[in-house]
Structure 1
């Protein structure tokens, strides 16, 4: 039987673009309202639900577990424009479910 939880959060990025894999000290921890059963395979999907900043906020996830996940913006580079990684506050919707 699968289990589903969802939520939303306000997320910003006052830090430069993170370019080192596994370096997550600038990520924000999100805890699920109710932990999923131990040993569950958990998938998290996120969507930016606002358009407050002009740059495209790429979303990075890390350490998805049965109790929560870590998240941050890493602005997307493109069109010859360098993104600095910093981004204003946006609303992020998330859905987590077991597989």
Structure 2
């Protein structure tokens, strides 16, 4: 049987764009209100709920466990345009479920 949890958080970025795989030092930890059962395979789906900045905010998810996950805004790069990584505060909704 699948389980579902949802949540919302305000998130911004004051760091350069994260481009090194495995380096989650600039990510924000999110803890599930109720942990999923041990050994669960959890999938997290994040959604930007606001439109507060002129650049497109991409979202990166890492380190998903039955207890939570890590997330950050990582501005989307377009062609030769380079992002400085800074992004204003946005409201992020998320849904986590077991598979």
Q: Which residue of 2 aligns with 1:39?
A: 39
Q: Which residue of 2 aligns with 1:4?
A: 4
Instruction: Give the number of aligned pairs.
Output: 99
Asked if 1:49 is matched to 2:49, the reply is: yes
- The residue correspondences of 1:69-84 to structure 2 (distance < 5 A) are 69-84=69-84
Say what the alpha-carbon RMSD is for the aligned residues: 0.7
Q: TM-score, normalised by structure 1?
A: 0.97
Note the C-alpha offset of 1:80.
2.7
| Counterpart-to-counterpart distance in 2, 1:69 and 1:57 | 18
Unaligned runs of 5+ in 1: none
Unaligned runs of 5+ in 2: none
Moved runs in structure 1, 4+ residues, more than 6 A?
Answer: none
| Counterpart-to-counterpart distance in 2, 1:86 and 1:38 | 36
Note the C-alpha offset of 1:16.
0.6
| Counterpart-to-counterpart distance in 2, 1:64 and 1:23 | 14
Q: Which residue of 2 aligns with 1:24?
A: 24
| Counterpart-to-counterpart distance in 2, 1:51 and 1:79 | 22
Note the C-alpha offset of 1:79.
4.1
